[in-house]
Amino acid sequence: MTILGIETSCDETAAAVVRDGTAVLGNAVASQVTLHAGYGGVVPELAAREHLRSIRPVVEAALSESGVVLSDLDAVAVTNAPGLVPALLVGCAYAKGLGWALQRPVLGVNHFLAHLYGSFYGHMEILADTGSFPILALVVSGGHTALVLVESDGRARLVGTTLDDAAGEAYDKAAKVLDLGYPGGPLIDRLAAQGDPRAYAFPRGLMGTTGKAVSAENRFCFSFSGVKTALLYAARDRQLTPGDLADLAASFQQAVVDVLVSKTLRAAEAFGAPTICACGGVACNRQLRRDLTAAAAAASRRLVLAEPRYCTDNAAMVAGLAYHTLRRGAVEPGGFQVAARLGEDLGRVPFAPGLV
């Protein structure tokens, strides 16, 4: 089954052709980073206009790379939630129009769960093994920071989320405080490599390190507002040298990574998850990958890190997840709307081996 995936949830226009949920035949992405850099963040209306300009060339590029023509497609899949509504509308309108013209089914795909699925490209045998479950997924990006537990019967539930900023959003705001530019994640990651992560004792939110116990409902939740504010006060009214900047970046990053790694491993232990995966744009962060690898090994947990090309927004994850949905006949194609928010009920993921 050959599926064209389309992704326009934020500031990247992406298309991919995937066969049978595993073979990525073509994968194209057009980034809008330079367009939004001057604003220090994504402007939804500008993003939608750029998607409108880019979507056809990106789809054509993915098809060209794959060697597949439109008539070869069995279905079209598109991100319909969560994301920026103006951006989502562009992708969904294009996908539905294309599906109507080709007389092919069109499926709406949850961007959040697609990231989770994309982690396993190159490791699909793990998803076929019931012994790999439950899987604990750390989904960490500019829009989300959450822990998701996936059972072998497909049940997926949020066990922790951020109470304020997502980690990627905190990185962007930290980079703005330090006048580094946008997007903040890669810039701070590079600068942190030159600094001392122990130079500043920045707080670790919701870790119980301040002497105040963390409530049961927030045990696996995240908060990055405190470390962001601490960075602001540390940098304010000072003439920062290059060394100061590197130390601030390193200390900030260490605080964020410590929380992400600790919460993930604690949740994996609490829920008896033998497998951990990490995905989303912030999963490209080199220190996070190193520290999570070391912590998972020490805890005897299998760790699956999404390849960097599948960490950031892409359409291969969208088409791959849609394959399993179509294969199981779980939804009525075409009957979906766009939605900005994730929602509490994640339903059942269609790739689980115990799903009946």
What confidence score (pLDDT) does residue 335 get? 80
**Tell me: the pLDDT tens digits for 288-308?**
999 999 999 999 999 999 999
- pLDDT category at 331 given cuts 50, 70, 90 is low
**Tell me: the pLDDT tens digits for 15-37?**
999 999 999 999 999 999 999 98
Query: Is there a shared CATH topology between the 2-117+311-348 domain and the 134-306 domain?
Result: yes
Cα separation, 1 vs 320, whole angstroms: 10
What confidence score (pLDDT) does residue 347 get? 84
Specify the pTM. 0.94
- pLDDT category at 195 given cuts 50, 70, 90 is very high
- pLDDT category at 332 given cuts 50, 70, 90 is low
The CATH homologous superfamily of the domain defined by 134-306: ATPase, nucleotide binding domain (3.30.420.40)
Mean pLDDT of 129-150: 95
- pLDDT category at 329 given cuts 50, 70, 90 is confident
In the predicted structure, residue 345 carries a pLDDT above the cut 80: no
Cα separation, 40 vs 33, whole angstroms: 10
Annotate 196-232 with b (16+ C-beta within 10 A) or e (fewer).
ebebbebbbbbbeeeeeebeeeeebbbbbebbbebbe
Structural tokens at position 141: 């990006």
DSSP helix, strand, coil percent of the chain (3-state; round to 5): 45, 20, 35
User: DSSP readout, 206-251?
Assistant: TSSTTSSPPPGGGTT-B--HHHHHHHHHHHTT----HHHHHHHHHH
Backbone angles phi, psi at 181, to 5 degrees: 120, -170
- pLDDT category at 356 given cuts 50, 70, 90 is low
The average confidence (pLDDT) of the chain is 94
**Tell me: the pLDDT tens digits for 238-262?**
899 999 999 999 999 999 999 999 9
Q: Nearest-CA neighbor of 265 among 257, 281, 276, 255?
A: 276
Q: What percent of the chain has pLDDT over 70?
A: 97
Cα separation, 192 vs 190, whole angstroms: 6
Region 2-117+311-348: CATH code: 3.30.420.40
- What does the domain layout of the chain look like in residue ranges? 2-117+311-348, 134-306
Mean pLDDT of 96-119: 95
Structural tokens at position 172: 């962007």
User: DSSP readout, 191-210?
Assistant: HHTTS-TTSS----TTSSTT
In the predicted structure, residue 211 carries a pLDDT above the cut 70: no
What confidence score (pLDDT) does residue 107 get? 95
Backbone angles phi, psi at 330, to 5 degrees: -80, -20
Q: Helices 242-270 & 286-298, crossing angle to 10 degrees?
A: 40
Instruction: Establish whether the linkage from the previous residue to 350 is cis, with ω within 30° of 0.
Output: no
In the predicted structure, residue 343 carries a pLDDT above the cut 90: no
